[in-house]
Chains A and B, each alone.
Chain A
């Protein structure tokens, strides 16, 4: 498999060397986009405010805006002003296989860049960085993770928070009952209905859930972040040409400061569909990421 890919790239290189330089051969995703005239973006249905649907079932969000910057760059690169953009809904379970098998060309949502996933797919430079924290009732008395001993705590199945929480429970023998809900909405329902005293998740998503609550003032995000995670856009592995276009497009919005406008639009202003304001000012880790973009997983 590896050898095969190498042979092909060697052959491509040889072919490139023998053709006149101005007709650089396209390979991988860029070639696929050029040939089909379509770029397929993966979107999520409820990752507020990163990638979700507005009232007209159109994908919107912070990550979608950045993905559109990439689309603009691809149009320019391939000289295809009429490039068609198609969205393909993905879930946390389908996103990796759909990128790998060519259904989706680029997935910008709320996907953490980690070493396990790097075995399967490539990541763009980071587009956001979160800390994993707690959402709890203002009167619950929970201030930090140590207060969770012997309590019911909810988190969303399949997330890094679930792994951290389970590891913490085992390592520190905290005797927590951990509930793994199927999505963030259900996790918050567990919290709101009194089944759990706290909800551990990425801080940005917690602010999103809080904004949706019946009375946001009753809830608070608290606790020292247990980990930091960098979100990235996923693309196929070993596709340096496409990755360069993606990375350059994202870095350009960082350099021009345009990212600040996009950030303000989604995190500190009212967002559709209900006009909720997350009131989540840019954290130091996000500022750091924008100053020094990286495609590595967070430490």
Chain B
């Protein structure tokens, strides 16, 4: 188990470099001159322009630019934004907001997804099951930005139950509505996955044997059906954490959440390589670590799986 964890962390190294190189190149290859954009299209003194280019290494060929970026990275210097702030400071402000948002979305998904999925699975073919199936299908079919705007308008503006946009500090209560929007599509998938898994396991031989032992219905469901059914759901949730961070771009845009989705979007528009690569790099790490946690959870849920 220790060897397995260690090996997975070592795998992180090539994944990280590969991802940053790719992202750095994509930003480099994006058409448009970032310095020209910076000056707002007005003519700029050649000396100032040259100084700016030198400051951000934009006068160097691609490999040197990337090399210099990596050199800085080793010393934990993530570079500066075009407005002169340290990238690490900008990310340090934005990241906790997004992390909060993603954790709330993931919790909503996990709790309500499993709950509704279990009930639907146990009452397959009944009214609750049918309702949940149709509702989840609608949620999956409608794009997130449509759902986001509709909920913002109805819940935020018309009913006035929540602030339609999030304020600067992004407290928990204000993030609730965006978190629901962010987690809704995955919630629908979790419900369907849990339902399918439960109704499959309900017919397993060992469940019948457990019933034959004289166990109560509740115990059979909780002890013998649930744990086995959660194995595929956990995999989905783990992989979804990364998707939530990525999906945050749309949701954060709608609700004006000052998180990394917003930050990333603006940085891409400005061609700010340092910011884009740093944000994506962190996302890559989160993704890989989340997957590792899933694998370890897997082994805990299913004793047949042993890593060597």
Do A and B share a complex? Answer: no
